[in-house]
Chain A
Amino acid sequence: MSDAINVTALSVFVFFFILVTVMGFYASRWQRPAAKEANLDEWGLGGRSFGTWITWFLVGGDFYTAYTVIAVPALVYAVGAYGFFALPYTILVYPIVFVIMPRLWHAANEAGHVTAADVVYGRYGSRALELAVAATAVVATMPYIALQLVGMEVVIRALGLTGEVPLAAAFVILALYTYSAGLRAPALIAFVKDLMIYIVVLVAVVLVPIKLGGYPAVFAAANDAFAAKGGATGLLLKPQQMLPFATLALGSALAAFMYPHTLTGIFAAKSADTIRRNAVFLPAYTVLLGLIALLGYMAHASKLSVKSNNDIVPALFNALFPPWFAGFAFAAIAIGALVPAAVMSIGAANLFTRNFWKAYVKPDATPAAEAKVAKIVSLIVKVGALACILALPTQFALDLQLLGGVWILQTFPAVVFGLFFGWFRAPALLVGWAVGLVGGSTIAFMDGVKPVHTLVIGNGHYTVYTGLLALLLNIMVATIAQLVLRTPRPRPAAGRSVLQ
């Protein structure tokens, strides 16, 4: 990795960064209905007005994060086929979105809910379950925001810049336009980010193999590297890797749209059909992700040596692209960090405002007051994530993010089951959530914060994704609790039953 500052690359990078900053501040006026009161629907959900295209760019922009662009090739570079679980994960997520999310959208839209925890409270009338869902989501999102900063840090370092000032400056700018424009800022910036990432990846997957002797040569070089390295690596999965591969893909797909940043994209959609159409067209990004993953093999073919696996992608771009295009690619990744970071902080702010501040501090808050609180919280969330990255070791954020996946998956029964059937009641779901959360965390800690756990049943060893294991535990406990407690259905509101 070059230590000198490359002026051409840096200039291109700065140009695009300024471009999206201007767009971010302009976004507060984009598509905004004239003379409307400030409220959380406007700031936190873009007025629930996003059609198919905007939703496609927004969800694509905040689901396929900058960290993905850095970490997936890094994992594929390190272990090979196993790292490719990202592909089945980001395919299987769409049938799940298609079946579940239009129902969730209807539930939210009819009652004016802003968060998943709102929907849970609306259905079950349980403040405890609402708080459990909201707190889990906020805690799981914080390290996710921090990881976006890690992604940005990596490309800033690749540009030859040192110190923490550039990172902090970029984040402060992000915080300010998110504060003023709300969800419209990342929605507008996502257009630029996604187009840039598409250009970078298409150029990379065509040009890089030509320079390296074609895809057969790329796969062969990776195969040689894994053969020399040994262990559980290779172009194909080892028999003992198949079950973890499949369970990681399924568990991650179930968890993906429980996060507040992905759900914010869902709630901001104009109609349920907007979401259905996006389930059809969003897989285009998955092709992109699969191609990005292949960068890990290209790094083997170009014989790069890096200090940290996370430097693979920037090092590959610096080695194979002219400086101006490397600068463009780094800008794409850095802007790719801004979009999810903005949506995540908005999602977390919405949760805090609706499910904590309004629920416990100020139940009679006006819509304008809600928006004001959410804006301030979004600032605090981002400053908190920045402080974490600057003060704590990166590994801490990585471990927390991994646990966050296990935790967020435990909100699945509470958020989703009620959309399809009403058998479970709040106390049972709450017990299931608690057992899943504690059980999953305990297992993960005992395994040294690893994503998979090995079960020994008879003579067989079965290694599965810890999050999925915890979810099974969660559902089993909730089912038993429901059978034991047999809490009665809440009576319909008195007024309604009289009217009907």
Chain B
Amino acid sequence: MWILLVLPFIGLLWVPLFNHERPSLFGFPFFYWYQFLWVPATSLLIWIVFRNGRKNRDE
């Protein structure tokens, strides 16, 4: 489970992955909306790990 928290680091620190203009979305170049997308994605991943941890602590 904890491995999920590594994903944002890969997704955001491996810059050649997203240093592009296309595809653009609502006028935002890929570079921008891709990084914005990682905000809710990171929240979700932390939440999954949090939920999982609580379940284990309750048992």
Chain A 277-310, CB-CB to B under 8 Å as 1, else 0, gives 1011101101100100010000000000000000
Closest to B49 in A: A98
Task: Determine if A237 is an interface residue (Cβ-Cβ < 8 Å).
Answer: yes
A81 touches B31 (CB 8 A): yes
A95 partner, pick from B5, B15, B32, B39, beta carbons under 8 A: B5
Chain A residues with Cβ below 8 Å from B28 are 215, 219
B38 touches A88 (CB 8 A): yes
Chain B residues with Cβ below 8 Å from A290 are 32, 35-36, 39
B26 touches A92 (CB 8 A): no
A-B pairs with beta carbons under 8 A, tally: 97
Total number of B residues with any Cβ neighbor in A under 8 Å: 32
Task: Determine if A87 is an interface residue (Cβ-Cβ < 8 Å).
Answer: yes
Q: With A92-B8, A236-B31 in contact, is A242–B36 under 8 Å at CB?
A: no
- Distance in angstroms between the alpha carbons of A88 and B34 in the assembled complex: 11
Chain A residues with Cβ below 8 Å from B9 are 92, 95, 250
A235 touches B13 (CB 8 A): no
Total number of A residues with any Cβ neighbor in B under 8 Å: 37
Chain B 2-31, CB-CB to A under 8 Å as 1, else 0, gives 100100110011111001110000111101
B46 touches A95 (CB 8 A): yes
Q: With A98-B50, A236-B19 in contact, is A215–B27 under 8 Å at CB?
A: yes
Chain A residues with Cβ below 8 Å from B12 are 88, 91-92, 246, 249
List residues of chain B with CB under 8 Å of any chain A CB: 2, 5, 8-9, 12-16, 19-21, 26-29, 31-32, 35-36, 38-40, 42-43, 45-47, 49-50, 53-54
> 10 nearest interchain CB pairs?
A215-B27, A216-B27, A88-B12, A242-B15, A95-B5, A246-B13, A280-B47, A283-B43, A87-B35, A283-B39
Q: Can you offer 23 A-B residue contacts whose CB atoms are under 8 A?
A: A81-B19, A84-B35, A87-B36, A87-B39, A92-B42, A94-B43, A95-B9, A98-B49, A99-B2, A99-B5, A217-B27, A236-B19, A236-B20, A236-B31, A237-B31, A242-B16, A246-B13, A250-B9, A277-B50, A280-B43, A280-B47, A281-B43, A287-B39
